[in-house]
Amino acid sequence: MQGGFDVYAGYEHNGQKGACTIGFNAQIEGNNVFVTASHCSHAFTSLDSDTAFHSGVAWAPIAREWRDPPAFNCPFPWSGLCRLSDAAAFRYDISADSIDFGIIAQPYLETIQINPADSIFEVVGKWSANPPPQYSTLYHIGIDQGFQGGFLMSTCSAVKFKYEQGGPERTILCVNKYATDSDTGDSGGPVFTIESDDEVALTGIHTGRTQCCFGVPILVDHWCTDFAAIEADLGSMWVWEPFGGDPLTAEIDGPSDVPPYYTEGCEWWANVSGGTGSYTYEWMGWPGGRHGLLLRLRRRDRRPALA
Amino acid sequence: MTRYLARLGLACTLVTAVGACVDERALSSATDLPAQTAFVEPRLQQVLDNLPGERLLRELSDADPSFGGYFADADSLVVLTTDLGRAESLRAVTEAKRPRPDRRGLSASSRPIAIRQGRYTFRQLARWRGVALTLVAGLPDFAGFDLDEGRNRLVVFLTDGSGEDAMRSALSDSSIPDDAITYEIIGEPILETT
């Protein structure tokens, strides 16, 4: 299972309704999940434990909605319910061997054919502190419009979305507008920057489109949910292997041999890489040598007992 | 592929046009503009002050209050300031914190930084955003809101434009400068699955 694959959630499969795109696979608090749009499940911005299906595994259930926080009263007047993101996490019920973590299917440009056997993108990063600068080029993959790209036109906008005509209304507080092509079924698909060759950094997932005016789609805008907002709603997540990040390594640089009675002072530095989060340092050690404290202590310990 | 490149070209033209909105010759320092007059609910301010997608913008604004926002152009990262006298210090701050993804391994090479004159600081726009949302979010035709770093303005999204006059009227009672807000019709935002 890869990012960019089709997924059906929110309805028992009937081949007609509920088609969306898997955004990306991730691990949240040790749970193997995929992330897609909240509005792809039956209850928009509400946990409903929907079962998710994928066409490629004979319509067997692959996952169940696991995290989709409830909307809250918008902090500005007369605006109904709000959420930071339009995203939900579905926890896989299938073997981890069937989940391609850190992989997004790569179809040919502007095609709807996703052929994972031929080509993939490797996820190497996530824009979790901020979106890319405005006017950067973003790419996305969906099961309807395939592989598309265009400029990022606005970041972290608040937009009042409706789930289909007359449906429930939610203001999503942090969506990005980008110039691209999308259609029904592309919701939830991965949105990313290309870092190098086939390596990508995730910027979020596809949300939907707006079009105006008066029934004639003259101007069409496309929107994606920001990655930072997704993590704020669903929790911090690992999106590339190895989970837990690169291994923690630490070494201490500085003099290893200090002359006796050296009075100029010595400095040692900790060089740390990998691991997770910020580092804290706790220095432990034991001075040694013929003229050091250790020797003096030993001398005291070795004082002859009084007869 | 041809259609794809054509679309990129169109978007590039749009970016160029938007970039022209930040006209250095017409801009001046705006740090002394008066504060807002409308009351902003503390809860609204708290939400806006902690929007997850603006963390880096807030950090840069805290490090240099003249910071107005940043955006990418063809070959550089453009950083706006209301005080070009602070260009070098702002360049140094941005260099240290420049927008990049958390990523495995080494980061790719980055664009050079170009400092340009902006009209408003990020801090001003962020403060006015709370005021404007308080005044217009409940009005008919309201579809959304954006603090647009590239245009160095606030943007009110409208469903069809029918409510623009009412919104302008509501905002005229605030002390937000007229030219700090633009209006953009985006249609009705409807989410669709198959």
The 10s digit of each residue's pLDDT in B32-76 is 444 445 677 888 888 999 999 999 999 999 999 999 999 999 889
Taking an 8 Å cut-off on Cβ atoms, the answer to whether A135 and B134 are in contact is no
Q: Does B24 or A206 have the greater pLDDT score?
A: A206
Contacts of A147 in chain B (CB under 8 A): none
Cα gap A203→A176, rounded to integer Å = 9
Residue of B nearest to A219 (CA): B186
pTM (two decimals): 0.79
Alpha-carbon dihedral of residues A166, B131, B47, A127, nearest 10 degrees?
Answer: 80
Sheet containing strand A24-28, strands side by side: A19-21, A6-9, A51-53, A61-67, A88-92, A31-36, A24-28
State residue A305's pLDDT score: 35
Taking an 8 Å cut-off on Cβ atoms, the answer to whether B190 and A165 are in contact is yes
Return residues 163-222 of A near B (CB < 8 Å).
163-165, 171, 173-174, 176-177, 179-181, 183-185, 187, 193, 195-196, 201-202, 207-214, 219, 221
* Mean pLDDT of all residues in A248-274: 72
Residue from the list B70, B137, B194 with its beta carbon closest to the beta carbon of A17: B194
Chain B: closest CA distance from residue A216 (Å): 10
Q: Calculate ∠ Cα B152-B153-B159, nearest 5°.
A: 140
Count, in order, helices (H) and strands (E) of chain B.
Answer: 6, 8
Least confident of A249-258, B48-57, B133-142, B174-183: A249-258
Cα gap A3→B145, rounded to integer Å = 30
Is it the case that residue A179 has pLDDT exceeding 80?
yes
* Mean pLDDT of all residues in A113-130: 79
Least Cα distance to B80 among B135, B134, B123, B16 occurs for: B123
* Mean pLDDT of all residues in A158-185: 84
Is it the case that residue B19 has pLDDT exceeding 60?
no
Cis (ω within 30 of 0) for the bond into A266? no
Residue from the list B71, B133, B145 with its beta carbon closest to the beta carbon of A133: B71
Cα gap A250→A272, rounded to integer Å = 4
Least Cα distance to B30 among B149, B140, B117, B107 occurs for: B117
Cα gap B14→B129, rounded to integer Å = 25
Mean pLDDT (chain B, rounded): 80
Taking an 8 Å cut-off on Cβ atoms, the answer to whether B150 and A134 are in contact is yes
Is it the case that residue A283 has pLDDT exceeding 50?
yes
Q: What share of chain B is helix, strand, coil (3-state, %, to 5)?
A: 40, 20, 35
Domains with residue ranges and CATH for chain A? 6-234 (2.40.10.10), 249-301 (no CATH)
State residue A201's pLDDT score: 94
Residues B130 and B51: beta-carbon distance below 8 Å: no
